[in-house]
A and B are shown apart, each in its own frame.
Chain A
Amino acid sequence: MTGDWLDIGWVDEIPVRGSRTVQVAGGDDIAVFRTAEGKVFALLDRCPHKHGRLSQGIVYGGAVACPLHNWRISLSTGEALGDDKGCTPTVPVKIDAGRVLICRASTLKAAA
């Protein structure tokens, strides 16, 4: 756990086409997604519509469908897709030797 990145675990701990969360004390959780193609993304676990938990949605292509009212949110930009308007903050992620690292500054902002 060093520098600008927070090590949150192995890539394999996130189910493919699924998600896990990272709890941030005093703030919103962060949802970490893994797509069918093995790409990993992180977003604040909060739908721009009515704060649904995006980590609980169905992941397909590069998007997640919110479990509450089925808004579709882009995993890479956090923007609502289609006709809906809204945006969820993204958290930069990188993978290093199978470990998932998320951006420290964005994570702390989530708690702020």
Chain B
Amino acid sequence: MEHTPLKAKADTREHLVVIGNGMAGCRAVEELLARDADRYRVTIFGAEPRVNYNRIMLSPVLAGEKSFDDIVINDADWYAANGIALVAGDPVAVIDRAAKTVTTRGGTTECYDRLLIATGSDPFIIPVPGKDLPGVIAFRDMDDVDTMLAAADAGGDAVVIGGGLLGLEAAHGLSLRGMKVTVIHLMPTLMERQLDEAAGWLLKNALEARGQTILTGADTAEIVGDGKVEGVKLKDGTLIPASLVVMAVGIRPSVALARDAGLAVGRGIQVDDHMVTSDPAVLAVGECVEHDGQVYGLVAPLWDMCRSLADGLVEKPSGYRGSVTSTKLKVSGIDVFSAGDFSGGDGCEDIVLRDASRGVYKRVIVKDDRIVGAVLYGDTADGSWYFDLLKKQEDVSDLRDLLIFGQSFASGGGAADPKAAVAALSDDAEICGCNGVTKGQVVACIAKGARSLDAVRGTCKASASCGSCTGLVENLLALTLGDEVQAGPKTMCKCTSFGHDDVRREVVAQDMRSIPEVMQKLHWTTPDGCSSCRPALNYYLLCALPGDDVDDQQSRFVNERLHANIQKDGTYSVVPRMWGGLTNPTELRAIADVVEKYDAPMVKVTGGQRLDIFGIKKEDLPAVWADLNAAGMVSGHAYGKALRTVKTCVGSEWCRFGTQDSTGLGVKIERMSWGSWMPHKFKIAVSGCPRNCAEATIKDFGIVCVDSGYELHVGGNGGIHVRVTDLLCKVATEQEAMDYCAAFIQLYREEARYLERTAPWIERVGVEQIKARIVDDAAGREALRARFLYAQSFSQDDPWAQRAEGAEREHHAPMARFTPQEEMA
């Protein structure tokens, strides 16, 4: 225990007692001394057995970049020189406001005239079994760092629970100290309170490249070990071995003392603008306080609070007005900055700049011509500039177009017009970094006749790779041609300058594996896309990566999320599969039972030869599926961009005209192709003779049986614009009919644009092209067929069965229910 002797001789000054020898407590005393060094006699109580140090520098100490001595703010001499009595290593246990005394755990009692509570925060420990095992620690003070260093000396595995600022800094330090580190984060995005999805994805990649294992969306079930920690078990059953577990899931203001003393406490100790609590003799400052409904977890607000507090103590009240905060992650080599509000919303406009080659993502959020938030990754040089504009609420309308390029660009030359800025560039200025194209070359290529973005991309390659210079090229076009610029190809949506085909090609070429990755590498101009591009990207990834778990449920339309068709009254219709339109008494009985049990108001025979049960409530869906599954039926995907039905006629088995077993072939084809996701819905039919009762010539893939074999037809459509199929070819055997069908489906899956049905797709590329690929190129056909069957080996588990077994069951149930009458009673 460190003890600076309490002053012995009588001192008549008012006595200020400070609880908490941390960053805010000591800073408050410094501010007070600077204003009036003699006014108060000061005693500081600190739970930690040491002098005041810079807590935020514990991370560099852990990482080995600093020693404890380097981070001390006030050493023992400072306390002595200013006549401050320090009681360190003995926490205050009780405040007696009536007697105006504090008493420590060790039994020391001290009287006060003014009391300042600066107890900071307590780490939040998640209440899982095993949380008290030796080896499970938080990251808050120097003792925690010492424990981590000792564990790192022994080597082995460490688990950090929590992928926020603290957790990542702990993980970084431990990993530099030689431990094998796994970070477990509950949310899908690292540091989600400071970063958006795009920046979080970049950060995750960078940390993984440094050898850390990052598990997002992972929920801790239990910490296991016999006498000491041995590992962490997740809710999904995964067991991660660990000799050290650091919990960094958040902090809670340390309010126990204040609450026991009867002070007003909300989330923190409630204070007014002068940091005075509900008792005028008691002040509070730092992370333990709640001011105007806000609590803070960063140091910047403490400095403002301490100034107002000291002003009040010397009776020159100024008043604290709350703080806007910014965050920087202290992991060397990784630059992350965030400030203000980046949740978007009304009237907010996002300005996004992505530079994939440099790993840069910048997003500035502007509302009413003022910056309200900023997220920067990879290049944080302008963080302080944005933060300054944000805090000062400066009008940025004049800078608007150049804002995202940073301070030097936006304020240099005063050229607020982007066209003027581009005009001012010299001819050898590089426009396209990816392909090394200069302004002079782009202008020359426009002069030679390239009159659209697409034409420029096609001739001199500028903007053809990552697209980050698209804006510059467009400005050059406008500058050179004036009104003669031709509109480019249709982009996927307003979030990108790329069309579907470009996106798709790059997804495959660059082996992209997640939606945030695509958005970063292709410079999406919005942080998380929109309801047009997200489902499309989800499909492209799904199609490119069979067997990988890339499906993002929140990027699917409701019907595909709930595996049923939403109806206009918000109920759902359920269509179980009836293979080739065949059914039997067991299935019919099960359907009849479901209709009665769940009170379905209507059952209808669909145009696709199966039964549709209408009016099922969302929360009943899992139970309905379970009942249908029990009778052997699976989802009909009547809701999806997927294979719908295979319609058949009765064929040679019953019909006097029948030439082949159309029913049997239809069943086989449906068994082969059900469950596959497609760019759009896909319908098949098989007719037993040219009378074509199954209407095969208005289907996406239609088979018409003839005496000598099977005519294969493609690209038909009913609906508003009826389109009759094109004849693809004729084959001799059933097996060939199936092989060609599989190859055609895969070609459509790989090459059509999302939400493009086979009819418009074939009209766009031409049926000759399809014939060349499927009919003439036997090897190509076989490869397509093989890829389809490979993908199918992963996609044929019944989504209903998974949900009926309880997967995501909670999403079918309301979160809560209220009955107003009871409520009001």
Contact = CB atoms under 8 A, between A and B. Distances in A.
Nearest to A29: B814
Contacts of A76: 345-346
A58 interface: yes
A107 B821 CA distance: 12
B528 A36 contact: yes
B621 to A, nearest CB: 12
Given A26-B820, A62-B348, A68-B568, A15 B531 contact: no
Nearest to A7: B816
Contact of A37 (B196, B553, B561, B823): B196
Interface in A1-44: 6, 8-9, 12-18, 20-27, 29, 32, 35-39
A35 B187 CA distance: 12
A83 interface: no
B267 interface: yes
Given A38-B192, A76-B345, A24 B566 contact: no
Interface string B331-362: 00000000000111110101000000000000
B345 A58 contact: no
Contact of B531 (A21, A24, A60, A74): A60
B554 A15 contact: yes
A8 B816 contact: yes
A104 B823 CA distance: 9
B720 interface: no
Most buried by A among B189, B529, B534, B816: B816
Interface string A65-100: 101101010111101000000000000000011000
B39 interface: no
Nearest to B554: A17
Nearest to B818: A24
Interface string B552-568: 01111111011000101
Nearest to A57: B558
B187 A38 contact: yes
Contact of A18 (B342, B344, B554): B554
Nearest to A1: B823
A62 B346 contact: yes
Contacts of B819: 25-26
Contact of A77 (B192, B346, B814): B346
Interface residues of B, number: 49
A17 B811 contact: no
Contacts of B531: 57-58, 60, 65, 70, 72
A60 B810 CA distance: 22
Contacts of A6: 816, 818, 823
B186 A15 contact: no
B817 A22 contact: yes
A75 B345 contact: yes
A50 B568 contact: yes
Nearest to A100: B815
A36 B555 contact: no
B346 A21 contact: no
B346 A74 contact: yes
Nearest to B571: A53
Contacts of B722: none
B344 A61 contact: yes
B197 interface: yes
B824 interface: yes
A48 to B, nearest CB: 15
B129 interface: no
A37 B816 contact: no
B641 to A, nearest CB: 14
Contacts of B20: none
B815 A67 contact: no
Interface string B2-41: 0000000000000000000000000000000000000000
Contacts of B526: 60-61
B552 to A, nearest CB: 8
Interface string B484-528: 000000000000000000000000000000000000000000111
Nearest to A50: B568
Interface in B173-216: 186-189, 192-193, 196-197
Contact of A36 (B527, B558, B815, B818): B527
A79 B346 CA distance: 9
B570 interface: yes
B715 interface: no
B390 to A, nearest CB: 17
Given A21-B815, A22-B815, A36-B189, A62 B820 contact: no
B631 interface: no
A61 B823 contact: no
B528 A61 contact: yes
B564 to A, nearest CB: 11
Given A38-B193, A61-B530, A67-B557, A13 B344 contact: no
A70 B493 CA distance: 14
A19 to B, nearest CB: 9
Contacts of B528: 17, 36, 60-61
Q: Which of B342, B819, B820 has the most CB of A within 10 A?
A: B820
A57 to B, nearest CB: 7
Contacts of B188: 16
A75 B348 CA distance: 12
A72 B534 CA distance: 14
Contact of B814 (A23, A74, A112): A23
A95 B810 CA distance: 21
Nearest to B529: A60
Contacts of A25: 817-821
A62 to B, nearest CB: 4
B535 interface: yes
B664 to A, nearest CB: 38
B554 A8 contact: no
A108 B820 contact: yes
Contacts of B566: 53, 56, 67-68
Contact of B342 (A37, A68, A70): A37
A16 B187 contact: yes
Interface string B99-126: 0000000000000000000000000000
Given A14-B815, A29-B814, A61-B528, A111 B570 contact: no
Contacts of A51: 570
A37 B192 contact: yes
A108 B815 contact: no
B308 to A, nearest CB: 26
B344 A67 contact: no
Contact of A20 (B197, B527, B811): B811
B187 A62 contact: no
A12 B818 contact: no
B814 A56 contact: no
A94 to B, nearest CB: 9
A5 B814 CA distance: 18
Taking each of B192, B348, B534, B818, which has the highest tally of chain A beta carbons within 10 Å of its own beta carbon?
A: B818
B603 to A, nearest CB: 23
Contacts of A58: 531, 534-535, 554-557
Nearest to B561: A56
A101 B813 CA distance: 18
B820 A111 contact: yes
What 5 A-B pairs come out closest when comparing CB atoms? A65-B531, A62-B345, A56-B558, A17-B554, A20-B815
Given A16-B188, A22-B817, 11 more contacts: A15-B553, A20-B815, A25-B817, A35-B344, A36-B528, A37-B197, A38-B193, A51-B570, A53-B558, A61-B530, A97-B267
Interface of B: 186-189, 192-193, 196-197, 252, 267, 342-346, 348, 350, 526-531, 534-535, 553-559, 561-562, 566, 568, 570, 810-811, 814-821, 823-824
15 contacts: A18-B811, A24-B820, A37-B343, A38-B193, A51-B570, A53-B566, A56-B562, A56-B566, A58-B531, A61-B345, A62-B348, A67-B566, A72-B531, A96-B267, A111-B820
